[in-house]
Amino acid sequence: MKYYKPQLFAILFLIVLPACSVFGDVSVKIAPYSLISKDGVFEIRQYEHLLLASTATPHGVDNASTPFYKLFGYISGKNDKMEKIAMTAPVFMNQAGEGTEEMSFVFPADFSLAMAPNPIDPTVKLEEIKNYRVAVISFSGFLNQASISYHQKLLQNWMAERDLTTTGAARAAGYNPPFTLPFLRRNEIFISVGKNLNKSME
C-alpha cells in the first residue's frame, strides 16, 4: 500500500497541473502579493486576501495523498453548487511543531468567502485570511517534512536576527508537481509577522 500512495499523489498532480513540466514551469495563477523587501532567499510579503480550502493531514506531508484527493475533489465539483474551481498555486502545508497538520488549496484571487461553494465533505473547511504579512524563505529540492523543518528553522533564525515578531504558525508552500526536476522546484516557508517592521525591512 505504501508503494501506491506516492503514485496516487503524483497522478493527482498530473491531473491538476497539466501544463507544468519537468522544467518547473507553472501555468496556473499564483496568489498575488506585494513584495515589501528582499534579502537573498528571504522576503517580506503582503497578501491582501487569501481564501483557502483546507483539510487535516493526520499522517503528515510525507503521506498526503488522501487530503490532496479531498481538496481536489472539492475544487472539481464535489460541493453544494457542483462548481469547478481553478487551481491556484501554491498548495499550503500548515505546520504544528515538527509536523504538518493541514493542507490547503488557494482559491483564485477574485473569490470571496460569500461566493465560495460549501464543501460536501465535512472534513473540508473554508478559511479567509486578510492582511497577511509574512516572512518567506525560498528553496528548491524535495518538499518533505525534513526539508520543511530545516528551512523553517533557517527562516526563524533570520527573523530573530532582525527582531521580527512571529504572529502565527508556519506554512510550507509548494508550487510544482512531484515530477518536476528537484533543483528547479519552487518551495517556500511562510511565517506571519507583525506589521511594525524595522525601517531597513520596509
Q: Is the pLDDT of residue 13 over 70?
A: no
The span from the CA of 156 to the CA of 135, in Å, is: 9
Residue 178 buriedness (CB in 10 A; 0-12 / 13-18 / 19+) = middle
Is residue 139 over pLDDT 70? Answer: yes
Q: What is the CATH architecture of 4-11+32-197?
A: Alpha-Beta Barrel (3.20)
Three cell numbers written together for 106:
488557494
Please say if the pLDDT value at position 20 is more than 50: no
2: pLDDT strictly greater than 50: no
Portion of the chain with pLDDT greater than 70, in percent: 83
The per-residue pLDDT for 172 is 97
**From CA 128, how far away is CA 165, in angstroms rounded?**
22
Mean per-residue pLDDT, 46-72: 94
Identify the burial level of 170 via C-beta atoms within 10 angstroms of its C-beta, where 0-12 means exposed, 13-18 middle and 19 or more buried.
Answer: buried
The model's pTM: 0.84
Average pLDDT over residues 170-184: 89
Q: Give the Cα-Cα-Cα angle 45, 172, 31 (nearest 5 degrees).
A: 45
User: Residue 130 in 3-state DSSP?
Assistant: strand
Structure confidence at residue 202 (pLDDT): 61
Spell out the domain ranges in the chain. Answer: 4-11+32-197
Q: How confident is the model at residue 15 (pLDDT cuts 50, 70, 90)?
A: very low
Distance CA 108, CA 48 (A): 13
What pLDDT was estimated at residue 24?
47
Q: Which of 23-27, 43-47, 97-101, 124-128 has the lowest mean pLDDT?
A: 23-27
CA nearest neighbour of 172 among 61, 25, 81: 61
Q: Which residue has the higher pLDDT, 55 or 22?
A: 55
- Separation in Å, CA 196 to CA 29, 112, 163: 30, 27, 10
Q: How far apart are CA 119 and CA 107, in angstroms?
A: 13
Band of residue 198 on the pLDDT scale cut at 50, 70, 90: low
Give the whole-angstrom CA distance, residue 13 versus residue 68. Answer: 9
Contact call for residues 96 and 169 (beta carbons, < 8 A): yes
How far is it, in rounded angstroms, from Cα 189 to Cα 93?
9
Instruction: Report the pLDDT value the prediction gives residue 175, as an integer from 0 to 100.
Output: 93
Q: Mind listing the pLDDT tens digit for each residue in 140-173?
A: 999 999 999 999 999 999 999 999 999 999 999 9
Per-residue model confidence (pLDDT) at position 190 = 98
Cβ atoms of 20 and 26 within 8 Å: the answer is: yes
Provide the pLDDT confidence category of residue 18 given band limits of 50, 70 and 90.
Answer: very low
DSSP E strand boundaries for the chain: 29-30, 34-39, 42-56, 88-96, 99-106, 125-139, 166-174, 187-193
